[in-house]
Chains A and B, each alone.
Chain A
Amino acid sequence: MLLIPCPWCGQRDEIEFRYGGAAHVEYPADPETVDDATWARYLFVRPNPKGPLAERWCHSQGCRRWFNIVRDTVTHQIMRSYRMEEAP
């Protein structure tokens, strides 16, 4: 059971959150102009590192804000938590 630092509400139990997958996956500026391969990469290809991973969470049972954390996928240590508008 992770303890996740919501940038607003502070440390809360994992059960209050919804997972949103990898963060900083860029939505193509104009999807209509990208080729199928590029679009498929946006849709389906995600980083899966052994180590730090930036990922999105939503404090859905709390303040409902989406935010990012950097979590080590091996130790589950959370190194950083930052708001959407903050730089990665």
Chain B
Amino acid sequence: MARKHAILDGFASRFSGVASSSGGRIALREVPFSAQLDFRANPADGRVVDSVHKALGFVLPTDPNTAATAGGRSALWLGPDEWLIVGGEGEESLLTRVLHTALGETFGSVVDVSANRTVIEVSGSAARDVLAHGCPVDLHPRDFGTGRCAQTLLAKAQVIIHQVNDAPTFHLFVRTSFAWYLAEWLLDAMTEYCAEEPIGVSVPLGGQESPSPLRG
């Protein structure tokens, strides 16, 4: 079998430099090749939901903009009868079988979209601020937390944002054709958080809006 090629292969060294230049406030990497299945089914059909639950260990989320995770696999709510089922590399055949079995003869669809999007992982204490430079959705912990997901725009690229832990770590699912653009945009948005010279500007009052000194 031929070797897969990660669309952001050429960004690896620039991505890995972020952690140190940001003083540990941001980390950035591509998580390529995850299995991704677009799954359409009727969430009111208990048999389908149970079948997925038995096989994958999670109940398909029915609350908009939420995700369910078990055993390293997740179901991201995409619509009232649509989920993105995410698994590890190479699991697309397995997941396809599981979902087809769950569907049985009922109406729905299973589409392998594993190579449709890659995942950019952004994490760290400044991750939320970096995303806020281009994301119109409120990612504040009161509104968005671990286990939440949203389909929206990041700058001019459509993304699915999935918060996977409280670090916080975000998985950005982006179409492969937009991945270069989004990678460049993210690196640019991180400029101020990765500055060579510490940026500390005294603000007489409050001052939370200005980045505190980045190092030390």
Binding site for B on A (CB under 8 A): 8-10, 12-13, 15-16, 61-65
Contact partner of A16 (CB less than 8 A), chosen from B78, B80, B82, B136, is B136
Q: CA–CA, A13 to B152, complex, Å?
A: 9
A15: chain B residues within 8 A (beta carbon): 136, 153
From known contacts A8-B64, A10-B64, A12-B137, infer whether A61 and B82 are also in contact, taking CB-CB under 8 Å: no
Q: Which residues of A lie under 8 Å from residue B79 when comparing CB positions?
A: 8, 63-65
Closest to A9 in B: B64
Q: Which residue of A lies closest to B137 (CB)?
A: A12
Which residues of chain B (27-73) have a CB below 8 Å from chain A? Answer: 64-65
1/0 contact string of B139-171 vs chain A (CB within 8 Å): 000000000001111000010000000000000
Enumerate chain B residues within 8 angstroms of A63, measured Cβ to Cβ.
64, 78-80, 82, 151
- Closest A residue, CB atoms, query B82: A63
Q: How far is the CA of A64 from the CA of B82 in the complex (A)?
A: 10
Q: How far is the CA of A82 from the CA of B68 in the complex (A)?
A: 27
* Identity of the chain A residue whose Cβ is nearest the Cβ of B138 in the assembled complex: A11
Inter-chain contact A62/B80, CB cutoff 8 Å: no
Q: How far is the CA of A84 from the CA of B202 in the complex (A)?
A: 53
A16 and B156 CA atoms in complex are apart in Å by: 10
A-B contacts, 18 listed (Cβ < 8 Å): A8-B80, A9-B150, A9-B151, A12-B136, A15-B153, A16-B152, A61-B158, A62-B150, A62-B151, A63-B64, A63-B78, A63-B79, A63-B80, A63-B82, A63-B151, A64-B78, A64-B79, A65-B79
Collect the chain A residues with CB atoms within 8 Å of residue B80's CB.
8, 63, 65
Q: Give every chain B residue within 8 A of A13 (Cβ-Cβ).
A: 136
For residues 4 through 31 of chain B, which have their beta carbon under 8 Å from a beta carbon of chain A?
none
Q: Which residues of B contact A16 (CB under 8 A)?
A: 136, 152-153
Give the CA-CA distance A21 to B115 in the complex, in Å.
35
B158 contacts across to A, CB distance below 8 A: 61
Known: A8-B64, A10-B65, A15-B136. A61 touches B78 (CB 8 A): no
Contacts of A64 in B (CB 8 A): 78-79
